[in-house]
Each structure stands twice: as structure tokens, then as C-alpha cells.
Structure 1
């Protein structure tokens, strides 16, 4: 019949999404973000010529990103999840274009679009994972996702700084656009299905403030947020103040990129930490990781700007332990959240990333007024020790 619709023969051949599907999507997304992870703070420092001003710039951007994150469930309810994911990819590309202006206004807009894009991608990808991966396989899937992103976070920052130093802005940020295009093509090829319980234009959008209240009323979700916030505070500090440590002490911008790349090369250890979590339990593994990370940060603080290479080595040890939290931390949230609340609670949970980019630079701007970068690392070490105590005291033994 002339009205019969025939689907292209390749469509049914696409495999059902599994852990490797989401690991691949996250790996490509990581390339799009990691390639300029060290370029952005260096570019901001060269525009502002002041470490405190850079901290304040990151604080403003994170505050704006927090607002976007809290309203993300309303977008997911209003539009199909696939379109929110697509908008996130496009936002990363637009942000790259803004950075090319090499102006303070362009820097601000570029960072804002980057934060908005990362927020949309993080929330929607987590929702897809919870829809398609069994709870008993969360630790395995998350450790695989971290491990597959190793290459991106290892080579990306150094490559980005190298392109920025030798070929200029167009080369560094052009890589972002290329990987955004690849990511968008892969995402639409996999044709990930939206949760049928969340139908665009039908469900009533919920109040972001009510979502926060509902989140705070659940102790397991609060603990999951605290664990994620602690580990994310380290990565914010590492990505921003690691390169600044190298540049401000005369080691050079390339050394800053190499430091970040070396730390990210350790992401492959997520597979080992995943096995440790399954063998010994998530609670003792994460509590140990927090304690060890706090000690190595105190060592980095002791070396500080007097011995920047030794301080950088201590930061690399800290990264190794924090990767355990990357591999295991999000499983606390995924196992605790109720199915019907996933979009709303995922958005509130995701605020750990926005607040980790907001609060540490704000606190550090005060610390830097009285102490050097060693004070920054010591402050973070104290906080991670507190997070370790929370994890050991309140996380259920059977997790």
C-alpha cells in the first residue's frame, strides 16, 4: 500500500543500550570538555592577571549554573529528554565560540554556556543510566564510565594547552566543536528512549524549591550529595588551582596542562576501585579514600609554592584516591532515589557540581587574601576529612 511506512533496514540492528553505550557517550563528551579544561583558567588568568579575580569569576558562573540546574526538571517535563540532551551538546559548542573572542565578556559567556551544557548532559545521562542499568550493576557501570573517559581526561588538557600555546584559540576551541558534532551523531544513532512515565507536555512541572525540600527530607540522598560534593570540590580545585600553581611559580602553562593530564590518567584506576568496592564494600572503601586524600592534600599544602613540583606530586596522589569516590560515590544516589522522583531528585543532586564550582572559589578568595595556594589545599584537606567521617558514620554497611 502507498501509505505503508518502511523503516530503514539498519534501525532494528542497533543494540539495546548497556553500560558500554553510556561509557562511550561519556567518553566523547569528556573529550569535548577536557580539551579546554586547563585552557579556560589559564585564559581567564591572562585576561584578569589576578588569582582572586579568577576565583570570583568562577563563583559568579557557578551561581548562574546552579539556577539552571534546579530548573532542568521543568525542561525535561516540557520537552523530550532527547532534546534537552541535544541542547546541552549545542551549548558546549556555543561556549567554545564565545571563548574565541578572547575578551572578558566572551570568557564569561563561554563559561556560562559550558556550565549550562554540562548540566543538561549530566542530568539526562544519569536518567538514561538509571532507566537502562540494573541497580546491582551500578558500581560496574560507573567504574566503566570513569575508566573509558581516561584517555579524554589524560590527553585532552595537555593537547588543549599545546594547541592554545602554539596555534592559538581557534585550534584549541575548534577541537571542542568537532567532538560535540561526534557526540550528537552518536547520541541520535543510539536512539535512547525516554522514560514513558515522563511524557513531555503532560506531566505538571514541579517547583524547584519543593524539590529541594523533598531531597533534604531523605537522609540517604543528603549523604549521597555530601559525598559527591566532596569529591567534586577536589576536581574543581585541581583543574583551576593546579594550573595556576604551575603558571604563578614559573613552571609554565604547559606544565599546568601536564599536571591535569597526569591526574586524569589515573582515571583508569576506577576499574580497580570498582573491584575494591565490590570486594570490601562501598562504605569502607570510600571512607578510606577520603582519609587518604585529606592527608595528601595536607602534604601539598606543606610544600605549597615553595616546592611546586612536590606539591603537584601530592595533588596527583590525591587524585588517585578521589577517583575511588568517582567510581563508587554516585551509586549511593542511584540506589536511594525513588523511580518516580528521578528527574526532580537528579536535578537537586546535580547541584553538587554547581556548588563545588561556586563555594570553593568563594572560600579560596578569602583564604588567598591571607595565605598562598598552600592555604587552599589545607582548607580542602580539612573538608575532605569531614566528608570521610560522614561516610564512615552514616553510610549503611550493606551498600
Structure 2
């Protein structure tokens, strides 16, 4: 009977979720986060007037964000994925309200909202991807997702710096709120939770510490975490210390935004890295990418402040190789995780991002006590070299 129809007739017209669905969501989310990527460290430096104290601030925020990430499966159980994803988008917008106060407390709360929002969005989006994309198509889907985000990560940092320097703090962070609202609307338009062929978004609550134990007990998950941690440490360093490096060496705020945008402009090569991964295997591609990152970082560290623009050039070259790990690396987790424990293991896996925002500032704050700013890049080069060696030795050849 007509009275039994529960949905407007236009709803079934939405196409089933696929690689382009998640690429468009990630691209919109990237605009919301990329716009103030270069603004936040500069704003923190303006408030604290010391790069070492900026590192401490990032460390404290990352520690708190880590706690939220570990308890994410419980939030998903009680509120379902779609509400956790929506809350993530809202938190990005709320963070903007704190940032515009231009105070230490506002900076801290804004950064915390940003970290919590990114955590919620990342974990839930990965769960949706694993539900909808076949394992054999993951490399292609992930490389497409990275490539689509290129426009956001290329134009966003420069746009944010331009708005911040030309029109003020309200313009820069107001743009973030607009993009976050657009993300929320797009997500609900796709109605991912309405697909009845997919298991319900809710999951059994498990002690977060027990989840950590289960994760650590599986060698392939440990390796997937290390790969993600290594490449994310590069981006943390690039996004935070790249702009600081340009400002401190006298190149200016606009140059800092251009550096970050130029690095993100390289995201289009994710498509080619993905094809290479499909042809030659993830093990070879990831190892090559880490090796390239290490070489570029050691050279950048050796040059340091002696020739800032040359150092920036090698950081860009390092970004080219990092995108190779972006395009292929996450598939190592998606292929290894067991279906019945995806939410729990995805939450533990996501801690790579929290640790990559926590560990580098903590380590760099010590290193900077003894050496110049270039030492930051050399220190990171050691980590990426270790990641490359471990990947080559332990990642299965068939991947």
C-alpha cells in the first residue's frame, strides 16, 4: 500500500557507495583541515614566541587526543558511526570558535577540537571504506582518495595564510566552519548507514586496553601501524616545522603557506604510486618511498638554515616520496584486519596519527635544545630509514 512507503521517492536515486564517494568525502574534509594547517603553528608561535614551547603545546594536545581515539569504539557503540562522523565534522567547526579568541586557552581548545574531530572522521571513514570496497580494489581506491584531496591540500594552506594575513583571523577560521558544514551535508546526502547490505554500525564494547593487546599480538597489524606512523611523522614535521622554518629564516608567512601548498600539490602523483603498487607490489613501493624520504631528509638537515630555499626544495622532494606511502601504505592494515574486529582495531590503528603528532614535537623539543632547526629533519630521516628497513624485511611479498 502507498501508506507503507517510508522514504521520499528520490532517496533510492543515490548511487551505492564506491571509491568516488569516499574520495569526495575525504576531499571535502581535507578542505576543512587544510585551510588552517599553516595558520595554526604560526598563530601558536605568535602567542608563545618560542618554537620549543610550540612543540610542548602540540605534545599536550596529542596526548589528550590519543585518549579520545582509544575510546572511539565505545562511542561508536553508543551513538553509531553516522553520529560519530557527524560529531567529527561539528568539532572542526567548533574548534574555529576557540581559535578566533587568539589566546593560549583558545589555541589549546581549538587544537584539541581539531584533533578529536579528525580522529572521529578518520576512524569512521575507514570503517565505511572497508565495508564498501573490496580488498583487491583498496590500492586503487586509496590512491584515488589521495589524488582527489590534492586540490584541498594544495590551495588550502595558501588560502588560509592569505585570509589570515589579509582579512584577519575570523576570515581564515570562518572558512573552516563553512567547509565543515559542507562535509556534514555531503555525508548525510550519501546516507552510508542506510545500506542494508552492510552490517549495523554499532559494535560490541571492548576495553580499550584489551584492544591494544589484541592489536599488538598481530604482527601484520603492528607493521601496518609502523608504516602509517612513519609517513604521518613526515607530514606532521612538514606541516608544523616547515612553516616555522620559513618564518624563522626570514622567508615570510606567505612563503610558509606556499611551501605547504607546493608539497600538497604533489598529491596527484598518488594515482601513479597506486599503479606502481599494483604492478610491483606494496612491499617494494613502500620500501622505495621510505628510502627516498630518508635521503631527502638527511640532505635537508645537513643544509638547514644555511640555504632555506634549497632546504625547502628537498623537503618537497621528500613529500613526493611520502605520498607513495600515503597511496599504498594504508592497504596493509585494511587487508590484515579481521572483519569481526574492525572497529576495535581501527581505533588502535588510528593512534598512529596521535603518536605522530605527539612524538615528533616531544623529540624535537629535546633535539632543539642542543642543535639548530635543521636537526629536526635529520632526526626524522633516521626514523624513515628504520621504517624502510622493517618494511622490506617483514612485509609479505604478495601484498
- Tell me, yes or no, whether TM beats 0.5: yes
Aligned CA distance change for structure 1 residues 291 and 144 (closer, same or farther; 3 Å): same
Structure 1 residues 100-249: aligned runs within 5 Å: 100-193=100-193, 197-198=199-200, 200=202, 203-249=203-249
| 2:267 aligned counterpart, secondary structure | helix
Take 1:252 and 1:393, find their aligned partners in 2: how far apart are those partners?
43
Q: Aligned-residue CA RMSD in angstroms? A: 1.2
Check conservation: 2:89, 2:121, Cα contact below 8 A.
yes
**1:350 corresponds to 2:358:** no
> Structure 2-normalised TM-score?
0.98
**1:257 corresponds to 2:265:** no
| 1:37 aligned counterpart, secondary structure | coil
Take 1:305 and 1:7, find their aligned partners in 2: how far apart are those partners?
62
Check conservation: 2:23, 2:146, Cα contact below 8 A.
yes
Aligned CA distance change for structure 1 residues 52 and 198 (closer, same or farther; 3 Å): same
Check conservation: 1:77, 1:198, Cα contact below 8 A.
no
Check conservation: 2:81, 2:201, Cα contact below 8 A.
no
**1:284 corresponds to 2:276:** no
Measure how far apart 1:305 and its partner are: 1.1
- Structure 2 stretches of 5 or more lacking a match? none
Take 1:85 and 1:6, find their aligned partners in 2: how far apart are those partners?
24
| 1:370 aligned counterpart, secondary structure | coil
Write the deviation string for residues 196-227 of structure 1: whole angstroms up to 9, x where unpaired: 64564xx5410000000000000000000000
Check conservation: 1:232, 1:353, Cα contact below 8 A.
yes
Check conservation: 1:96, 1:176, Cα contact below 8 A.
yes
Matched residue count: 397
Measure how far apart 1:368 and its partner are: 0.3
Q: Which residue of 2 aligns with 1:27?
A: 27
| 1:79 aligned counterpart, secondary structure | helix
Q: Which residue of 2 aligns with 1:387?
A: 387
Take 2:326 and 2:115, find their aligned partners in 1: how far apart are those partners?
19
Measure how far apart 1:181 and its partner are: 1.0
Take 2:204 and 2:41, find their aligned partners in 1: how far apart are those partners?
40
Check conservation: 1:35, 1:158, Cα contact below 8 A.
yes
Q: Which residue of 2 aligns with 1:313?
A: 313
Structure 1 residues 291-370: aligned runs within 5 Å: 291-370=291-370
**1:268 corresponds to 2:268:** yes
| 1:193 aligned counterpart, secondary structure | helix
Measure how far apart 1:2 and its partner are: 8.6
| 1:96 aligned counterpart, secondary structure | helix
Measure how far apart 1:4 and its partner are: 3.4
Check conservation: 2:233, 2:356, Cα contact below 8 A.
yes
Q: Which residue of 2 aligns with 1:37?
A: 37
Take 1:106 and 1:228, find their aligned partners in 2: how far apart are those partners?
30
Take 1:166 and 1:9, find their aligned partners in 2: how far apart are those partners?
47
Measure how far apart 1:78 and its partner are: 1.2
Take 1:325 and 1:145, find their aligned partners in 2: how far apart are those partners?
13
Take 2:6 and 2:85, find their aligned partners in 1: how far apart are those partners?
28
Write the deviation string for residues 227-276 of structure 1: whole angstroms up to 9, x where unpaired: 00000000000000000000001100110000000000001100010011
Take 2:235 and 2:201, find their aligned partners in 1: how far apart are those partners?
35
Take 2:116 and 2:2, find their aligned partners in 1: how far apart are those partners?
45
Take 1:2 and 1:219, find their aligned partners in 2: how far apart are those partners?
55
Q: Which residue of 2 aligns with 1:18?
A: 18
Range with bigger deviation, 320-329 or 7-16: 7-16
Take 1:2 and 1:14, find their aligned partners in 2: how far apart are those partners?
21
